[in-house]
Amino acid sequence: MAREILVNVEHQEKRVVIVNDGRIEEFYIERPGDKTIVGNIYKGTIEAALASINGAFVEMGMAKKGFLYMTEIESGYEFEDSQPHHPQPHQPQRKSAPGKLAGGIKKGQEVLVQVVKESFGTKGPRLSCHIGIPGRYLVIMPLENQVGISRRIENVEERRRLRQILVDAQLPKDIGFIVRTVAVGKSKNELVRDANYLIKTWRRIEKQVQRMRPPSLVYGELDLVLRVIRDSFSEDVHKLIVDSKPEFYRIHKFMNDSFMGHMRRKVEFYRGNDLFGDKDIERQITKVFETKVYMKSKAYIIIEPTEGLVVIDVNSGGFKERIDQEDAAFKINCEAAVEIAHQLRLRDLGGIIVVDFIDMEREGHRREVLRVLRNALDQDRAKYDILGISKFGLVEMTRERVHNTVHTMAFQACPYCSGRGKVKSPLTMSIFVVKELRRFLQGKQLRQVEVSVHPVVADEIAKDKEILRQVERRYRVRVTLTPNSALKIEDIAIA
C-alpha cells in the first residue's frame, strides 16, 4: 500500500491528510485562531481549590481557567516561594517523596502544568502535572525516573532490546522515558540521539521556568504540520508532498534539527496549482462532513455527533446479496465495523460512542463483529475502550478525545434552524402565524395590519382563506398577507 502525507497551505489555514492508496485515513485542519494548546506547558497559579470535586482551577493567562485534579499537584514541582508577588521565582525543585506541597494547596500557589485536553464547550482545558514531551522515538517524562515501553509493541524480545538500550545509554537517572511504537527496529544511536535532543529541550524549559513569572507559557507544542511529521512520517510513508515553498524549506529545517535528515529525500514540493484537487482529496474531504456514509455493499452507516455522545446506526440500505437475514446482518455488520473505525479516526470523534449494529441472533456472530471492530480500532493512535456487545447489537465504547474535531472547526450551528437540523413545516407555520396574529391584535384597535411570511407559508395560508377572514371579523381589522422570500420559513413580521 502506498501511504502519503499531503500538506496544503493557504493564507488562513493549513490542512494535512494522510492517504493510503489514494483514500484519506486521517484529516487535520489548523487555523491561526484555533491552534491547539494540547502539549503546551504553562507556569500557572492556583486560582481556587475545591475539595468537593477534588480539583483546582489554574490561572494560565487564558480566557478559561484550566482544571487540575488535586492529587496531581503532589507529583508536580515545588517552588521555594509560591507567592505571585515574588520578584524572581526560584529554581523549581523535584519533590523527594509524595506528599502535599509546603503550606498545602492554596490560592496563588505556583504550579507547572501541561495541557492534556482541549477546551470543550464551557469547560476549560484539562491539565496535568505529569509533564511529557514527545520526540521522534521517545517521550521524555522529566518528573519520573522509569523507562516505559508502548503497549502496542507486543514482541517480547523487541521490548527487552529497547529497554536495554536506554538502560545502557547512561542517561540522567532522575529523568524517565517512554519508548514510542515507531521506535521498533531503531538503532541505539537513533534512540540516544532522540533522548539527548529531548533532554536539551527540557533543560531549556527549566531555564524558562526560572525566568518567567506566572501565568506564562514556558513551552509550546509543535504546530500541525511539524507534529504530523514527528508522529506519522514513518518509514512506511512513500512521500510527503507540500504545495508551499516556505513550508517545504521549514520542513527540511525541522527534519535536520530533529535527526530526520535521512527522510528529506521523501519530501516533495508540488508544482501544480491544486494539490488536493488533483489528488481527489477535496471531494473526499466534502464527504467527511456528511451524516450518511455508504459502503461497497450499498449498506450505510449514519453518524450523529451530539453534545454528550456520538451515535452510529448501521443500516442495510441497498444491500442485495441473496443470503438469509442472519448472514446478511453479519456480513453488513463486519463491513460496518471496519468503516466505523475508519470514520472515527478520520473525523477524530471521541467521548462516549454508541453503535447500533443490525440485530444478530447468533452469539458467535456478535463476538466476531466485536473482534473485527477491535482489530480495526487497533490501527488508531487514540486510546479506546469497548464494554462489549448486547444481544440487540448495541456496542458502547469510549475513544480518547484530545483536540477539537475538524467538524467543530469547519462548521457552526445553523442560524436558520438553531442547530436542530429541522425547520417547521409550512402547515405548522401557517397555524402558528394565525396564533401569533391573534396575540398581536389582542387589546389593540387597528384598521389594518400586514403579515409578512416566507412564500411557501403564505401559499399554505392562502389555501384556506376563511382562516384570515375569521380573524378580520373578530378583531374588525383588514389583514394583508405578503409573501417575502427574504424571510426564513420560521420568520414572521407583523406590522
Which DSSP string do the residues of 283-315 spell out, in sequence order?
A: HHHHHHT-SEEE-TTS-EEEEEE-SSEEEEEEE
Helices (H) then strands (E): counts for the chain: 13, 24
The topology (CATH level 3) of 3-36+221-283 is Nucleotidyltransferase; domain 5 (3.30.420)
Strand partners, 7: 16, 242
Rounded CA-CA distance 17/346 in Å is: 9
For the domain spanning 290-403, the CATH number is 3.40.630
Fold of domain 41-219: OB fold (Dihydrolipoamide Acetyltransferase, E2P) (2.40.50)
| 8 Å CB contact between 453 and 492 | yes
Q: With DSSP H G I counted as helix, E B as strand and the rest as coil, what are the percentages for the chain, rounded to 5?
A: 35, 25, 40
Residue 235: predicted pLDDT: 85
pLDDT of residue 76: 58
Residue 97's pLDDT is: 36
Residues 6+ apart with CB under 8 A from 465: none
pTM of the model: 0.77
Separation CA 456–CA 429 (nearest Å): 10
Domain assignments of the chain as residue spans, ordered by start: 3-36+221-283, 41-219, 290-403, 426-494
CATH of domain 426-494: 3.40.1260.20
Q: What is the pLDDT of residue 74?
A: 61
Check: CB of residue 351 under 8 Å from CB of residue 401.
yes
276 contacts: CB under 8 Å, gap ≥ 6: 6, 8, 15, 17, 282, 285
- The answer to whether 126 touches 56, Cβ cutoff 8 Å, is no
SS3 56: strand
Q: In this predicted structure, what is the pLDDT of residue 100?
A: 43
In tens digits, the chain (495 residues) has pLDDT values of 589 999 999 988 999 999 999 899 999 999 887 788 999 999 999 998 887 888 889 999 988 999 998 877 765 555 544 433 333 333 444 443 333 433 357 788 889 999 998 887 778 999 999 999 999 899 999 988 889 999 889 899 999 999 999 988 888 888 999 999 889 999 999 999 999 999 999 999 999 898 899 899 999 999 999 999 998 898 889 999 999 999 999 999 999 887 788 889 999 999 998 999 999 999 999 888 889 999 999 999 999 987 778 999 999 988 888 888 999 999 999 999 999 999 999 888 888 999 999 999 999 999 999 999 999 998 888 889 999 888 888 999 999 876 666 776 677 777 777 777 788 999 999 999 999 999 999 988 899 999 999 999 999 999 988 889 999 999 999 999 999 999 999 999 999
Q: Which residues make beta-bridge pairs with 56? A: 49, 68
Cβ contact 15:24 at 8 Å: no
Q: Which residues contact 446 (CB under 8 A, 6 or more apart)?
A: 475, 477
